[in-house]
Amino acid sequence: MQGAMPSPGRTRKRESMVLSRLCRCLLTAALHLLAVLIAVPAHASPTHITAELIADGNAAPGKPLTLAVLMRPEPGWHGYWLNPGDAGLGMTVDWILPADAKAGPLQYPVPQTLLISGLMNHVYEHDYAVLIDLAVPVTARAGSVLQVRGKARWLACTDKICVPESGEIATSITIAAHETHDRRFDLWRAALPAPLGSKARFAIVGNMVRLAVPLPRNVALDQPHLFVADDRVVDYAAPQAFSRSGDLLIVELPRGKFEPLTPASLHAVLALDQSGNGLAIEGIPGPVPVNGTPLASSRQTPPLGWLLLSALIGGLLLNIMPCVFPILSLKALSLARAGESEAQARAEGLAYTAGVVLACVALGVAMLMLRAAGEQVGWAFQLQEPLVVAGLLLLAVTITANLGGLFEFSVPGFASEGSPQGAFATGLLAAFVATPCTGPFMAAAMGAALLLPVGPALALFTALGLGLALPFLALAFVPALRRVLPRPGAWMATFRRIMAVPMGLTALALVWLASRLAGSGFAFALVLVAVVLLSALILLGRRQRHGMAGGWRWWLAAGALLAFAAIGLPGMVRAPSAEAQGVLPSQPFSEAALAKARAAGKPVFAYFTADWCLTCKVNEAAAIERDDTARAFAKAGVVVLRGDWTRRDPAITRYLAAQGAAGVPLYMWYPASGGAAQQLPQVLTPATLTDLVR
């Protein structure tokens, strides 16, 4: 007889009991495993930075004793300062002390900077000691031993990975009537930043934190850097600007990128050099001078002689710009009209040179003064102002009408009988309209001019002017060169009208630039003013051909037109509309975008341009805005950042200055490997960019 089959309910109950027992067994095993893991000492696992607690010899009852946590990173690893910067983590210690003993704050040596993927870290890439003052109890008995222990946590990193680490640190302190000292502490104390005798002052001006540090002017500084201890106050990775104002060191730092804080006091360490010497600073709110003399940058600049030669050659190359070449050509032909008068030719040559040099030096002085006052400006800053462009447009229209024979204007005498006064005015004009771009040779010189003392900087601007004036000066002083020029004749009237074409094209380019700077409404109003001015010049020319002067009505109308332009145009300045995306997809440049792309391990091509920069536009057409460049960059995953410097942009100006550039164009390549950035040539070819990703 067969046994009765178990009911389904009984079977399910038995399965449930088995499953429950299995779960209890697994849970018990997991708890035992967790207990074992917890019981394993922290030092059982290897660390990339070892930590050792050391006492400075014996201690006396009631007297302070210094402890040191000696950190030893493995080669290629680093630890962090109390404020790690953009990434990282400082050390923390949970102390277990004898009764009535008390440990003071952690005292760090002067840190180092480490820039990785656009992120600034404050680190130690060598052995370093963090000091702590321990208050020894008054009740401690001589001959007794105090046990000091702590649980330390820190972060160990390379340039690719980071590992949170921890360890038990401990030491024994013998209480004795006579104190002893460990000589190593003398070196470790010397590595701490020295306290500054008086408080610094700081002020937040716009997007800048400005700090005035009382520091005697004879204190040597070699590649200084300010490490701000307070979090979210400054942008750690941004370039820092240092200048002197008597016995004050002025430090300028851009504010933090994301919701920066405004502290009641500012704590920082000023690294004086690369040898670890530094000062501990506490800043309080107060006035900060704005007229400091900039210190030379840590960036190594070429010898001054080479820079002067570069400025001279760069100025010489400016003569081929389309808005300068007509002026230079017609001035050269005016020397041919001077006949055999050597005195007249030399007088015109010297006057023209004086005008060019004066304009270049004046622009340089204005730029240096604006930068000393805290403004972020660079070379050709005048073309970032809509009203300056408006004035240049009206001037270009006037010159075009004069060259085209619509009216006669003897001063500055472009193709008529010359005079020193006219040559001087022509030199001023040529220099002013020839400086919108930096080109080959000129870039290094103008970048260095922002970093050098005032004297050498002005020498560079003078050399630039001499280079620009050199062709005309050579014609004026070398009769053989003048004899090569074609003899004067009727053909010169035709040549003069031909030269009106590039000047007219310059005027059209200025209309387009006005629309980019201040919007289409501003450009349209400016065109109307230019049309009215051109009509007035045509009427003036007709009166001149009939032997009549302009007449008071004409001059009154011209004055009213200029007054209308001066009063009405400023109120029409608007932000321009966004520019359409080109062949090469890009995003606007910012330090945050650069840091994000580099942190993601992507290669980055950052280029800086302006609508008024002829070299920039040529490079974009020849090498950047091309289908083959776009395909190569897309295949390699290159992030393209475009810095538009057409209008004044302090962030871009700071970046340019950090790269040793005074203006545009600037082309930077950041490899995907996280290696050092590469500054590309200022004249690009298609292969220059595509070869970067092969």
Mean pLDDT of 7-28: 44
Higher pLDDT, 143 or 46: 143
Can you name the CATH fold of 587-693?
Glutaredoxin (3.40.30)
Helix (H, G, I), strand (E, B) or coil at 403: helix
List all residues 6 or more positions away from 288 whose beta carbon is below 8 Å from its beta carbon: 201, 202, 203, 205, 210, 211, 212, 250
- The predicted pLDDT at position 134 comes to 95
Cα 222 from chain centroid (whole Å): 19
49-190 and 194-294 in the same fold = yes
Say what the pLDDT of residue 284 is: 94
pLDDT at 640: 94
Give the best-scoring range by mean pLDDT among 87-101, 354-368, 431-445, 673-687.
Answer: 87-101
pLDDT at 167: 93
Residue extents of the structural domains in the chain = 49-190, 194-294, 304-572, 587-693
Q: Quick one: angle between helices 304-317 and 454-477, nearest 10?
A: 50
Strands, E, within 78-222: which ranges? 79-85, 92-96, 102-103, 112-116, 119-124, 128-135, 145-157, 162-174, 194-195, 200-205, 208-214
| Contacts (Cβ under 8 Å, ≥6 apart) of 459 | 304, 308
Query: Bigger pLDDT: 306 or 133?
Result: 133
Confidence of residue 80 (pLDDT cuts 50, 70, 90): very high
- Supply 530's token pair: 């230019």
**Is CATH 3.40.50 the right assignment for the domain spanning 194-294?**
no
Instruction: Compare 570 and 643 and report the one with higher pLDDT.
Output: 643
If DSSP codes are grouped into helix, strand and coil, which group holds residue 123? strand
Identify the bridge partners of residue 153 per DSSP, sorted by sequence position: 92, 166
pLDDT higher at 400 or 44: 400
The answer to whether the pTM exceeds 0.85 is no
Q: What is the predicted pLDDT for the residue at 267?
A: 95
Q: Which of 373-387, 405-419, 649-663 has the highest mean pLDDT?
A: 649-663
* Residue 306 or 434, more confident: 306
Give pLDDT, residue 281. 94
Of residues 130 and 178, more confidence is placed in: 130
Q: Yes or no: say if 333 and 495 are a contact pair by the CB < 8 Å rule.
A: yes
The number of helices, as runs of H, and strands, as runs of E, in the chain is 18, 24
pLDDT for residue 223 is more than 90: no
Domain at 49-190: CATH code: 2.60.40
Q: What token pair was written down for 641? A: 């950042």
pLDDT at 71 over 90: yes
196 compared with 366, residue with greater pLDDT: 196
Q: What is the CB-side half-sphere exposure of residue 566 using CA atoms within 13 A? A: 6
Q: What is the mean pLDDT of residues 406-415?
A: 56
* CA–CA separation, 392 and 433 (whole Å): 8
Instruction: List the beta bridge partners of residue 155.
Output: 164
Q: Taking residues 458-482, what's their average pLDDT?
A: 86
Q: In what order do the strands lie in the sheet with 112-116?
A: 79-85, 119-124, 112-116
Of 197, 208, 211, nearest to 251 by C-alpha is: 211
pLDDT of residue 676: 66
Instruction: Output 42 or 59, whichever has higher pLDDT.
Output: 59
Please report which confidence band the pLDDT of residue 297 belongs to, taking 50, 70 and 90 as the band edges. Answer: very low
Cβ proximity of 127 and 71 under 8 Å: yes
Residue 16 confidence (pLDDT): 45
Which pLDDT score, from 0 to 100, does residue 450 have? 64
The 3 state secondary structure assigned to 600-621 is CCCCEEEEEECCCCHHHHHHHH
664-678 pLDDT, tens per residue? 888 999 888 656 678
Nearest Cα neighbor of 175 from 62, 95, 67 is: 62
Instruction: Specify the DSSP class assigned to residue 177.
Output: S
Does residue 188 register a pLDDT over 90? yes
Continuous H helices in 478-490: 479-484
Q: Using 50, 70 and 90 to split pLDDT, how confident is the model at 26?
A: very low
* The predicted structure's pLDDT at residue 265: 93
pLDDT at position 154, please? 95
